[in-house]
Structure 1
């Protein structure tokens, strides 16, 4: 047994093929994911603030055997979006896109429902060199969807591509040595070694298959043959389902990967389904009606304002997990009207969050004072600074002092998803502004938002259980890792604190830094923080074996009855 490092872990603790629950919980704490500890086991559901239930059986690949439903059949799924534009993992910045991609790809390791880290494409691993080196022994015989064999070279290519092309996911590997300086070493076809500049126990969490992860393995051959643009739409992975057809904005067809390596405890090959037919549905009412009428079996996301319709319907149910997110009014600081802190603070203070939640979400959300969500309970505080608290008189005074009284601007919004924007417009117009909605397609929305071609919009972090994931890319300086800093927020103190909290492996030390960081964000108002939403999916009674891990939509063990 090796001696523990400064983070309290021994190398034996962190080595594979399985990391026990106690050690994994510590890892999650170090990575900031502690809030999931109470919501990934048990019955898979949590009432949360939305007050719904999850009646599905909680099983997960490799953890248990299905006891209901039958094998085969095709799942008809509705995705609450106008289109699914990107499925190339390191370039995905929209949470709903990764919910699809996670069924097409694998990572080196994976996090199971019982909170153990287990191998995914890696069957075993060892931690060496005082925690600075992780050596992975890979599965043999794994095939990509195009028939190519998966090897250690694919791991190196994936990581090098993510970093060299400065993809958004590259920030997860910020402490890895340069790839060409022994950061990633291919020892043989089925052994690969990662070397870090400093010990980083949470690295194993960031190497799991999940949203925003940097080692979701892609196919070098497929990318070179297809080109990056086509691969982005019809990628080739090793996962349980393969993309057979994709008409962006119309339909997405996933078929069973007949050569998938994973089986259940009885030796039955996964996935159980023959395939999944995904239809983008941007209108909330249309999505709910399709589920209630039986046109679809599964909805990846139910807007909170439509939750009551699901709960009142026969034959369908909601599945609720704590939301690992934050949403706010994004104010584009490239626009003169939002360039001063006083102006942004004035706008924040004329917004009544509780009224906004009642109007936009029928009360089914939690008011946000800052960006750190309640599910991340180890760092969350109820007593956050109230700088942005509703105070119409004080807000109007700040607005007047900033010289923006009566100004005109727009809220960029996707078609069919306007309720929250309309509720926001109502409050801002009541404060004396002249606000209009600018409705565009989902594709146009993300193109314009990323380019900074907008005045305001309601957005935020959708599925990032680690505070680093929900803050780092959003608020680092735009030309230094702030790949999602689309509000053009520039604050050196925030930039430095984001770097500092990454290096703090001690949980209490990191907590203090993160809370100081949150205080600064509340004070500087890059967003007027609005709400934290629960993560709600919905399914018909014919669907069984869906495990609801917050934000994820793993369909590899889903079955259809009858």
Structure 2
């Protein structure tokens, strides 16, 4: 990989991949930025595991564990959204949903705080055949929440379901051989083999539990018994918490799973909590007031206009990490005038990104005119193409040439994103457009956005530390991998560059391809790129044992002091 050379099969094999090798893997997968972000915990907030059940640090960043009388109790958490609609991992396209689901499920492996890859549901593994084969030795005695035993068949079922149903997460295993033709081979109840068409060292990173991962293990019996639609609401996993109740728009009750397999460094069962009560709270002031008053112990996101209130609140701690995301002004290319690249570029050049960040995000974001974020430092550039740079006169000329002067259109938004929509409307009306705001519920927003029933909106990628994760589903063609290509951008060069960079295990080669891709996207304007938002959460001082990793919100090592 670049100047560091290829990685041997032996170095990639389990039960632990050392730090140096893992950093190489992260480089190939584009996740090197986590080296600076995970000093206090693991990639997923996971406790991880050593041997058949122990965890070396409980994911706390220290060896501290609660006393006997501190265990138990319930955590009350506020989620800055109107509803949490989907918890079935491969179908989750909203970052806040996965923050909940990660407490319900496990992956095959996990990325620990010291940047070593360790087992999650797999206790060991061996890489062979020049990196094309990974054989996993799975844990014994692991139970799903419905009491069924976890076996190798569940790994095969999960991967086959993700791929055959063309779920958004399927793209992570695009180089896997066909599942029933040697791609996934069940050797026995606790041994499973994955075979790839070509070497894919980052595969182990993609098999960790986290957003956009493809092997977060689901339960076949539960899916068949309750049906796919209900499973998306009340799924069954092997994680530390089980879904006891879920009323969309009202709240989620997670209760501790008594048969969860992990323990802390002292051998105590995890999780420490009896459960978590999650309340969707879309109103910024309501969320922050609930945190300040103690009505909730934790806020998964802090509304940016209220950051200063959180910073000054007694008994409240702001948690901040670099944003591994991008946001842009999405324009539906199946509607006029957005079918014109010239019109889209004119709009992009009419947007003052810094002014937008100041107005919509109170400065808590990094303005940018491209999608690759600064946290992904190995591929980030300060000197990106200037095509989308703010230039109102040039923008006005392009809009005139496209025949889009005075065009009328709406910005689709939810209550939690209303401030950003208003800031955008103000800038675009100033540029001569007739822009209105269409505010809908969270459920209606995602249904309409996915079906292309909108003019424009502000959206992007959240929680994707690998550049591919934040680009593949957005810019592959809609009928060939572009699961989230809801701007309906169809471009052969972008489509092919995404395929090429995936095969490039040499880091320098991959960097060159990704930068070429970013240059092309900036020039083609599928989005008017805006910024990268900082990841800000908050907790009360009585909440202990939580490690803030960018995007993740895992609670199995958390406890609440009375």
Q: CA contact under 8 A between 1:63 and 1:265: conserved in structure 2?
A: no
After TM superposition, the structure 1 stretch with the greater mean CA deviation from structure 2, 409-418 or 398-407, is 409-418
Structure 1 equivalent of residue 24 of structure 2: 26
Q: CA contact under 8 A between 2:474 and 2:484: conserved in structure 1?
A: yes
Structure 2 equivalent of residue 11 of structure 1: 9
Q: CA contact under 8 A between 2:41 and 2:113: conserved in structure 1?
A: no
Instruction: Kindly state the Cα deviation for residue 154 of structure 1 after the two structures are TM-superposed.
Output: 0.3
Q: CA contact under 8 A between 1:59 and 1:546: conserved in structure 2?
A: no
Structure 2 equivalent of residue 233 of structure 1: 233
For the residues of structure 2 that align with 1:545 and 1:130, how far apart are their CA atoms?
40
Q: CA contact under 8 A between 2:315 and 2:540: conserved in structure 1?
A: yes
Instruction: Kindly state the Cα deviation for residue 305 of structure 1 after the two structures are TM-superposed.
Output: 2.5
Q: CA contact under 8 A between 1:304 and 1:365: conserved in structure 2?
A: no
After TM superposition, the structure 1 stretch with the greater mean CA deviation from structure 2, 243-252 or 302-311, is 302-311
Structure 2 equivalent of residue 415 of structure 1: 415
Q: CA contact under 8 A between 2:41 and 2:60: conserved in structure 1?
A: no
Structure 2 equivalent of residue 349 of structure 1: 349
Q: CA contact under 8 A between 1:64 and 1:265: conserved in structure 2?
A: no
Q: What secondary structure does 1:233 align onto? A: coil
> How many correspondences in the alignment?
547
Q: CA contact under 8 A between 2:59 and 2:113: conserved in structure 1?
A: no
Structure 1 equivalent of residue 447 of structure 2: 447
* Alpha-carbon distance change, 207 to 324 in structure 1, aligned in 2, over 3 angstroms: same
For the residues of structure 2 that align with 1:117 and 1:419, how far apart are their CA atoms?
40
Q: CA contact under 8 A between 2:61 and 2:547: conserved in structure 1?
A: no
Alignment of 1:330-349 (within 5 A): 330-349=330-349
Instruction: Kindly state the Cα deviation for residue 61 of structure 1 after the two structures are TM-superposed.
Output: 3.7
1:464 aligns with 2:472: no
Q: CA contact under 8 A between 1:74 and 1:276: conserved in structure 2?
A: yes
Structure 2 equivalent of residue 375 of structure 1: 375
For the residues of structure 2 that align with 1:225 and 1:61, how far apart are their CA atoms?
34
Q: What secondary structure does 2:344 align onto? A: helix
Q: Give the CA RMSD over aligned residues.
A: 1.7
For the residues of structure 1 that align with 2:225 and 2:284, how far apart are their CA atoms?
38
TM-score (normalizing by structure 2): 0.95
1:304 aligns with 2:304: yes
Q: CA contact under 8 A between 2:251 and 2:278: conserved in structure 1?
A: yes
Structure 2 equivalent of residue 38 of structure 1: 36
Q: CA contact under 8 A between 1:284 and 1:417: conserved in structure 2?
A: no
For the residues of structure 2 that align with 1:214 and 1:18, how far apart are their CA atoms?
21
Alignment of 1:286-297 (within 5 A): 286-297=286-297
* Alpha-carbon distance change, 382 to 31 in structure 1, aligned in 2, over 3 angstroms: same
Structure 2 equivalent of residue 52 of structure 1: none
* Alpha-carbon distance change, 182 to 375 in structure 1, aligned in 2, over 3 angstroms: same
Structure 2 equivalent of residue 135 of structure 1: 135
Q: What secondary structure does 1:37 align onto? A: helix
Q: CA contact under 8 A between 2:134 and 2:195: conserved in structure 1?
A: yes
* Alpha-carbon distance change, 43 to 479 in structure 1, aligned in 2, over 3 angstroms: closer
Q: What secondary structure does 2:33 align onto? A: helix
Deviations 1:299-324 (A, max 9, x none): 11113232111101111011111100
Structure 2 equivalent of residue 318 of structure 1: 318
Structure 2 equivalent of residue 497 of structure 1: 497
Instruction: Kindly state the Cα deviation for residue 68 of structure 1 after the two structures are TM-superposed.
Output: 5.2
Instruction: Kindly state the Cα deviation for residue 357 of structure 1 after the two structures are TM-superposed.
Output: 1.0
Alignment of 1:501-520 (within 5 A): 501-520=501-520
For the residues of structure 1 that align with 2:248 and 2:211, how far apart are their CA atoms?
21
For the residues of structure 1 that align with 2:427 and 2:130, how far apart are their CA atoms?
55
For the residues of structure 2 that align with 1:44 and 1:241, how far apart are their CA atoms?
19
Q: CA contact under 8 A between 2:326 and 2:461: conserved in structure 1?
A: yes
Structure 1 equivalent of residue 53 of structure 2: none
Structure 2 equivalent of residue 220 of structure 1: 220
Structure 1 equivalent of residue 273 of structure 2: 273
Instruction: Kindly state the Cα deviation for residue 369 of structure 1 after the two structures are TM-superposed.
Output: 1.6
Q: What secondary structure does 1:464 align onto? A: coil
Instruction: Kindly state the Cα deviation for residue 343 of structure 1 after the two structures are TM-superposed.
Output: 0.1
Alignment of 1:17-166 (within 5 A): 17-42=15-40, 60-61=58-59, 65-67=63-65, 70-166=70-166
After TM superposition, the structure 1 stretch with the greater mean CA deviation from structure 2, 69-78 or 520-529, is 69-78
Q: CA contact under 8 A between 1:81 and 1:442: conserved in structure 2?
A: yes
Q: CA contact under 8 A between 1:59 and 1:545: conserved in structure 2?
A: no
For the residues of structure 2 that align with 1:21 and 1:368, how far apart are their CA atoms?
32
Q: What secondary structure does 1:470 align onto? A: coil
For the residues of structure 1 that align with 2:378 and 2:58, how far apart are their CA atoms?
26
After TM superposition, the structure 1 stretch with the greater mean CA deviation from structure 2, 66-75 or 444-453, is 66-75
Q: What secondary structure does 1:469 align onto? A: coil
Structure 2 equivalent of residue 51 of structure 1: none
For the residues of structure 1 that align with 2:217 and 2:291, how far apart are their CA atoms?
33
For the residues of structure 1 that align with 2:288 and 2:455, how far apart are their CA atoms?
31
For the residues of structure 2 that align with 1:418 and 1:65, how far apart are their CA atoms?
42
Deviations 1:174-232 (A, max 9, x none): 01000010100000000000000111111000000000111000000000111001111
Q: What secondary structure does 2:97 align onto? A: helix
Structure 2 equivalent of residue 541 of structure 1: 541
1:560 aligns with 2:544: no
TM-score (normalizing by structure 1): 0.95
For the residues of structure 1 that align with 2:5 and 2:188, how far apart are their CA atoms?
31
* Alpha-carbon distance change, 44 to 28 in structure 1, aligned in 2, over 3 angstroms: closer
* Alpha-carbon distance change, 342 to 415 in structure 1, aligned in 2, over 3 angstroms: same
Q: CA contact under 8 A between 2:344 and 2:528: conserved in structure 1?
A: yes
Instruction: Kindly state the Cα deviation for residue 417 of structure 1 after the two structures are TM-superposed.
Output: 2.8
Q: CA contact under 8 A between 2:57 and 2:265: conserved in structure 1?
A: no
Deviations 1:58-84 (A, max 9, x none): 964497533457211100000111111
Q: What secondary structure does 1:197 align onto? A: coil
Instruction: Kindly state the Cα deviation for residue 236 of structure 1 after the two structures are TM-superposed.
Output: 0.2
Q: CA contact under 8 A between 1:387 and 1:523: conserved in structure 2?
A: yes
Q: CA contact under 8 A between 1:235 and 1:243: conserved in structure 2?
A: yes
